Homo-oligomer: A and B are copies of this chain.
């Protein structure tokens, strides 16, 4: 999967001393943005070309907490690519020891400029077909 490292910031932590659970969805966003960039495009240019990929479903399993100042690698891949939707899979891995802290997925539809769902544009499909795959988690 495509790997991108972020650091847990003070503002990410909660009073338990862990990264707050909603931040993982933010990390997933970073993961898929950087995956697109690694494929030679960017979500900004996808949107500028009139296509958006709103999230229709998000899922996260939390295995171990991330703590302040931890470096975590967001590993992102395509789990399923269909005519009118795409599903990304993610892992959040603590860099120090390689422990998987969380895994999850997000599903997206493709909207055109008028906000109507439809088929993914061909050039985006061919990019996503070349993306690393995210195998289902056991």
Q: Footprint of B on A, CB under 8 Å?
A: 9-11, 13-18, 20-23, 25-26, 29-30, 33, 42-44, 52, 54-63, 65, 68-69
Contact = CB atoms under 8 A, between A and B. Distances in A.
Q: How many monomers of this protein are in the complex?
A: 4
B11 A22 contact: yes
Most chain B beta-carbon neighbours within 10 Å: one of A33, A42, A55: A55
A61 B69 contact: no
A74 to B, nearest CB: 12
B58 A59 contact: yes
A86 to B, nearest CB: 15
Contacts of A20: 10-11
B52 A62 contact: no
Contacts of A54: 16, 18, 62, 65
Contacts of A15: 10, 13-18, 68
Nearest to A25: B22
A58 B33 CA distance: 22
